[in-house]
Amino acid sequence: MDNEIYRLPRERLDSLIERLARDYRVVGPVKQGATWMWTDVRPGMPLALDYPTTMLPPRQFFAPMRETLFRYHRGDDGRFAFEEPAGERPFALLGVHGCDLTALRVLRAFHESSCRDRLVPGRLDRSFVMGLACWTPCLPESFCRDMGSLESESPASLYVWDIGGVLLVKVQTARGREIMRDVGALDAATPDELVALRKRLRTRPEAFPAQLQFAPEKLATSLKAAESDILWEATADRCLSCGRCNLVCPTCTCFDVGDQASLSGGDGTRTRSWTGCQVPGFSRVAGGHDFRPGRAQQLRYRIFRKGKYMPERYGMVGCTGCGRCATHCPTHISIREIFLQVGRAP
């Protein structure tokens, strides 16, 4: 399937959305004010193939910001009855960048690890993803090339290169081929188009100047050396503990579980919702004990989680270099700069 590259005339994107809408809830990047958000798209809406990343990452469609795990009801006999929510329509995500594709692999690895989750891998299995190649960095803080996610093309049923004029689409799954066939887009890319594509791919790195002076795999060792560095204190002084870095991160996976009960307490809903290690109260456990108090320790943990613990546990670096956390931090704490400092340390 590797060589199945087809042409999709730009105006046929609409037919693609129409076809996908039969089986999926179709979402794509849409500009809202100054911010790009993943939003429902319908045929006729222009699909932005040049968007500079979204504020919230695509994980919201697989591990929702807030989801009902079950409802409960206490019967007259005092016994509880449980009801799971009905299955939702699977999502089709159009135009997912390499950083976010990488993040979907991290998401799966986490949810299929020791604390095996049923819901998130299920949604990943049922969804349809169309990847999209980037030609320029999304944000000044993007360092996807350094983190190896720029060239990531999976998991995606279809992967698109916008080479100007026509779109070139690589079919990567049987489902992807089926959709392309239904849309009537199984004309192979012409040799000229393939040459043009190869040329663009060859020159692409020039648009993504190197930001780190070391390979991401080295991070784990560098971070180990930075265990007690004053770097954490100095950087944490600027941290507001607002939690935005966690929430906009495509690979953060932490959630909180809670009940919303009726006034009499007999009925209720158990939900889980996003939280993160920088959110006050996150590391507080029964009895009021906080096992990771203080901004410096919390910041250190976030960086270690991405650069050391995730590679050790899941075999994948937890940072994709998407640049969201630094961009949306009110005081611009940059994970790229921290990595750089850590890597530079003797």
Partner 1 sequence: MRPRVAFFSFGSCEGCQLQVLSVEDVLPELLSVVEVVNFREAMDDRGDDYDIAFVEGSLVKPDDVAELQQIRARAKILVAIGACACLGGVNAMRNRRPVTELAREVYDGRQDGVFAALPDASPLSSVVQVNYEIRGCPIDRIEFLEAVRSLIAGTVPYVPPFAVCVECTLRGTPCLLERGIPCLGSVARAGCNAVCPAYGAPCEACRGFHEVPNFEALGEAFFRHGMTRTLAAEKLQLFNNYREVREAWEQAVPSSSAT
Nearest to 65, CA basis, from 283, 281, 247 = 247
Closer to partner 1 at the Cβ: 129 or 236?
Answer: 236
Cα–Cα dist 319/305, whole Å: 9
Cα–Cα dist 98/31, whole Å: 20
**Interacting residues with partner 1 (CB under 8 A):** 32-35, 37, 55-56, 65-66, 237-244, 247-248, 260-265, 273-275, 279-281, 284, 295, 328, 330-332
Largest interatomic CA distance in the chain: 74
Closer to partner 1 at the Cβ: 221 or 275?
Answer: 275
Nearest to 26, CA basis, from 94, 88, 86, 87 = 94
Sign of CA dihedral 291, 296, 298, 302: negative
Q: How far is the CB of 55 from partner 1 (least distance, A)?
A: 7
Q: Where in the chain does DSSP place strands (E)?
A: 5-8, 25-32, 35-40, 66-74, 80-83, 91-96, 128-132, 158-162, 167-171, 255-261, 267-274
Count of Cβ atoms closer than 10 Å to residue 228 Cβ: 8
Closer to partner 1 at the Cβ: 136 or 260?
Answer: 260
Closer to partner 1 at the Cβ: 216 or 276?
Answer: 276
Q: How far is the CB of 265 from partner 1 (least distance, A)?
A: 6
Q: How far is the CB of 233 from partner 1 (least distance, A)?
A: 13
Which residues have CB under 8 Å from 315's CB, separation 6+? 109
Q: How far is the CB of 271 from partner 1 (least distance, A)?
A: 13
Which position has the token pair 């850590």? 342
Q: How far is the CB of 37 from partner 1 (least distance, A)?
A: 5
Q: How far is the CB of 224 from partner 1 (least distance, A)?
A: 28
Closer to partner 1 at the Cβ: 85 or 280?
Answer: 280
Closer to partner 1 at the Cβ: 242 or 340?
Answer: 242
